[in-house]
Structure 1
Amino acid sequence: MSQSRTNVLAVTIAIYVATFVSAVEGTIVSTALPTIVGNLHGVALMNWVFSIYLLATAMVTPIYGKLADLIGRKPVMQVGLGIFIVGSAMSGLSQSMPVLIFWRAVQGIGAGALLPVSMTIIADIYTLEKRAKILGITNSAWGIAAVLAPLIGGIIIDKLSWHWIFFINVPIGLVTMLLFQLYLHEPKRKRAANIDYLGSFWLMLCLLSLMLSFQTLSGQPINWLGFIAGIAISGLSLWLFIRREQRAVDPIISLELFKNRPFIVQNAIAMLINGYLMALTVYVPTWGQGIHGVSATVAGLALTPNSILWVIGAFTTGYFLARWTPRHILYFSLSFILVSGFILALLPLSTPFGWFFVITAINGFGFGIALTATTLTSQRLVSVENVGVATSFNTLGRTIGQALMVSIYGIILNTGMQQSLRHHPGTSMAMMNRLINPQTAGSLPTRLLPALRQVLYNGLHWVYAIGFVIVVLAVVSNRFDHSNEILGVKSEQ
């Protein structure tokens, strides 16, 4: 990166805005989804408005990472932002659910560039010592988005219409493109852009089949045939992708990365703990609304300490990187996540809701260190020309971990509740749907509320138990990390 010409402050602001837009998109659409469904009459397709965005983003993330290394960060970021802006504008103009879902996919394809390329640019313009602090600042966008998105979404829907949920991205995206165009300068790449189109196709088909197969698990009843078919197609595509990459002149993902065990361990840990994170962010509000009867706003605020301590944890990572090995840093940070997971798995039904603020704070501090450390270490474990690929690989692993575990948790919750309902005569799954929504919970018979809360608790208990197992697997995986041997880092311990 041409440090002498690049305006680091302006580029950092552009990166923050791009990260915020990416972070706010999922939450703000979730807030508007009931209104969108009511307006477009597409309740049967409502899950796809959100999931297609995630699927499209996951598919193209590795490709953007490779292109960033081949042709440069700036053109790839500009293309991603351009596609995202078009997808946003057309989503806002949609008049039917199928059309909206199509343009949400386009929007997701553009969004796939925002996070990995942003983190790659940070690696270019900042030293390792400063990088952790900057990642802490940019990560704060996720916390701010978690708090502000429901409020912004509510105001837009009440004062304007759901269409502006998407239209608002257009001016923000254009300003971000302008900042990158004017203030980000990088030398021309000497490497020829020999894009591996066939390898890209097999990789996208593999990821699409994998994530769609797990998406079928969220339906009732579960389409096991569709799940098995998706896994089979994904496995075949993976085999064809590996064969292609072995012969490709410039592979989309170098198979040499998979020989780098510390790199794989770092990304496996990032994938696992992101899978656990979904148990916290999705089901803590469910506990608050269904068991304690608090409003959606109050239930969501229980995650605020997680966001705040996440930023603090990310800021402290630079201090630890200078003194500890990556393995010691992860053992330290994972211990906080392990404690929060253990407490959640053992919480009794009578636990006051205030305890969740403490639990999410503990978890957030651990996550801030762990995810910042895995990102930075992944970048350090590869050659300079592969930083973009390594960063996108890290982002992809985190996305896959979240997407797969959300489907698995949904199955666990539904199975746990269905088994528990058999022991409580007079209750039904329809009543559970009303219980989780505080606005409809009041219409349930008072005499059944204790039983229904017990049913919900039993389902959530198993979600948190599996989440704890996922964290344990991350801790065990860290035992196989030998990053210090490659990086030449010595621990003071």
Structure 2
Amino acid sequence: MTNQVRKEEKKLNNETKHTSVIVALLIATFLTAIEGTIVSTAMPKIVEDLGGSELYTWVISVYLLATVISTPVFGKLADLYGRKLMFTIGTIIFLIGSMLSGLSQSMEQLVLFRLIQGIGAGALTTIPFTIIGDVFEFKQRAKIQGWISSMWGIAGIAGPLVGGFIVDTISWHWIFYMNLPFGIISLILLWVSLKEKIEKKKQVIDYAGILMFAICMTSFLYALTLLKEHKQLTGSITAFLVVALIGLCLFIWIEAKGKEPMLPLSLFKNPLITVSNIAGFLLGFILVTVTFYIPLWVQGVTNLNATYSGIAMLPMSVTWPIGAIFCGKWLSNKSIAHVTLIGTLVIILSCTGFVFFQTNTPVPIMMVVTAFIGIGFGLAFTAFTVAVQSAVEWHLRGAAMGSHNLMKNLGQTIGIAVSGLLLSDQLKGPALESSLHSVFILLVILAICSFVVTSVLIRKKESELAVR
């Protein structure tokens, strides 16, 4: 009887700790999810107070750049030094950047402090997924992933509302200060609840790989930023692309030779990781394009106001976590390959629905299509994330998740630049309608590509797709 009581107490303690871990990760995810929408909402007021309108886009771009670069770096460091330590360092950097951003007295300062904040955000966007893979068994991961996904949906709805309220009633400075208490709570919960054993030995850090990766990504993303502005190749854009290509080649060479490479090339021998990363890139491209251009269609083609843009996109925020929850249920009796194929097929059908939009297409019809694509993203993104979490052992899980999040981020970054090249300079009327149809056709092609890539998993033997 005593042993039974002890077992029950141990089980209850583990469940309590797991609950605390989940809450800590949900808070961390919400902070990074809401950052983009809340800052975008406050930017007009920030520019009004600080001036420097020419740096408007850099306040957001430099944050994204830093996040893209630091994401795989934190993933690898979490494998070397443990999730808890690197999560703590990343959160502290993020909170320092938040506090300094709130104290900014000029746009130059804000850009610099947002860079710091973005570096910390790289940890908050990668390590939570790594921890989920460590703490929870395969069948539980998708369910937890569904809760994590719901944070993005909630943030998408709450960000503009909270941002507008804070700016109107208090001050824009507080959109950054509000991160402090939530970040501290997340840290405390994780330190109390997460136990991990790290082998104490001298670790080798891939400084050369990190430096070359930073040079490569900075050059490439800056070239994309210039491409969005000029909408054609120029001498300077070409030069940055050449630097990025040379940097990429050197980075691959360094990683192939390194003792503890930041991004182990051996990861890409695993079909689950390779397919998930390629599909993640394609779906990231689709996601950012839908997020930006459906609201533009509503306002520029249908001639409705911004409120209707939000209404048209609202279903996607609601159905995404629903799709993630269904993913969790289906993974218990279906393979990852089958669930991802269902998700990508739903995305293909939804993108095809966008192609058939007309000037007089009513908002409720748009809501139906965005609801379906939300389900598709919930199924596909969740299944691919679980696939990467489950494809490797503990010592490679951080690097694997870092590579996956990097590919999704690159897909979104490249997506907004490439789709912008197809967009008409006329943001109203028939010209805009025609160019957006071209963008939607491109999305159908990319969705089909993601389906084809994913179908590779069907042809693999179960032994090649072993999950942990």
Instruction: Specify the TM-score bucket, using the shorter chain as the normaliser.
Output: over 0.9
> CA offset at residue 53 of structure 1?
0.6
Aligned to 2:56: 46
Check 1:36–1:330 CA distance in 2 against 1; reply closer, same or farther (3 A cut).
same
* Residue 281 (structure 2) pairs with residue 271 (structure 1): yes
Aligned to 2:442: 466
Aligned to 1:13: 23
Cα distance between partner residues in 1 of 2:131 and 2:197: 13
Q: Which amino acid aligns with 1:367?
A: F
Cα distance between partner residues in 2 of 1:205 and 1:488: 36
Aligned to 1:454: 430
Counterpart of 1:85 (choices 84, 95, 115) is 95
Aligned to 1:421: none
Q: Which amino acid aligns with 2:464?
A: I
Runs of 4+ more than 6 Å apart: 2-6
* Matched length: 454
Q: SS in structure 2 opposite 1:324?
A: coil
Q: Which moved more, 1:164-173 or 1:71-80?
A: 164-173
> CA offset at residue 25 of structure 1?
0.0
CA deviation vs aligned residue, 1:420-474 (integer Å, no higher than 9, x gap): xxxxxxxxx5xx4xxxxxxxxxxxxxxxxxxx42222122112212112111111
- Compute the RMSD of aligned alpha carbons: 1.8
* Residue 292 (structure 2) pairs with residue 316 (structure 1): no
Aligned to 2:3: none
Long gaps (5+) in structure 1:
419-428, 433-451
Aligned to 1:257: 267
* Residue 349 (structure 2) pairs with residue 349 (structure 1): no
Counterpart of 2:421 (choices 406, 411, 422) is 411
Q: SS in structure 2 opposite 1:480?
A: helix
Counterpart of 1:387 (choices 374, 397, 406) is 397
* Residue pair 2:272, 2:387 contacting (<8 A) in 1 also: no
> CA offset at residue 134 of structure 1?
0.6
> CA offset at residue 191 of structure 1?
5.4
CA deviation vs aligned residue, 1:47-85 (integer Å, no higher than 9, x gap): 111111111000011110011111100000000000000
CA deviation vs aligned residue, 1:357-376 (integer Å, no higher than 9, x gap): 10111001111010011111
Q: Which moved more, 1:284-293 or 1:92-101?
A: 284-293
> Where in structure 2 are the equivalents of 1:52-451 lying within 5 Å?
52-190=62-200, 192-220=202-230, 222=232, 224-413=234-423, 417-418=424-425, 429=426, 432=427
Cα distance between partner residues in 2 of 1:127 and 1:53: 33
Cα distance between partner residues in 1 of 2:148 and 2:256: 36
Aligned to 2:5: none
Give TM-score, length-normalised by structure 1. 0.88
Q: Which amino acid aligns with 1:302?
A: A
* Residue pair 2:320, 2:378 contacting (<8 A) in 1 also: yes
> CA offset at residue 292 of structure 1?
3.0
* Residue pair 2:347, 2:376 contacting (<8 A) in 1 also: yes
Aligned to 1:439: none
> CA offset at residue 206 of structure 1?
1.5
Q: Which moved more, 1:16-25 or 1:313-322?
A: 313-322
Q: Which moved more, 1:206-215 or 1:396-405?
A: 206-215
Cα distance between partner residues in 2 of 1:379 and 1:183: 21
> CA offset at residue 224 of structure 1?
2.0
Q: SS in structure 2 opposite 1:303?
A: helix
Q: Which amino acid aligns with 1:167?
A: Y
Cα distance between partner residues in 1 of 2:167 and 2:223: 33
> CA offset at residue 249 of structure 1?
1.3
* Residue pair 1:268, 1:397 contacting (<8 A) in 2 also: yes
Aligned to 2:7: none
> CA offset at residue 483 of structure 1?
7.0
Q: SS in structure 2 opposite 1:7?
A: helix
* Residue pair 2:322, 2:375 contacting (<8 A) in 1 also: yes
* Residue 462 (structure 2) pairs with residue 479 (structure 1): no
> CA offset at residue 488 of structure 1?
4.9
Long gaps (5+) in structure 2:
1-9
Q: SS in structure 2 opposite 1:219?
A: helix
Cα distance between partner residues in 1 of 2:194 and 2:128: 12
Cα distance between partner residues in 1 of 2:273 and 2:48: 46
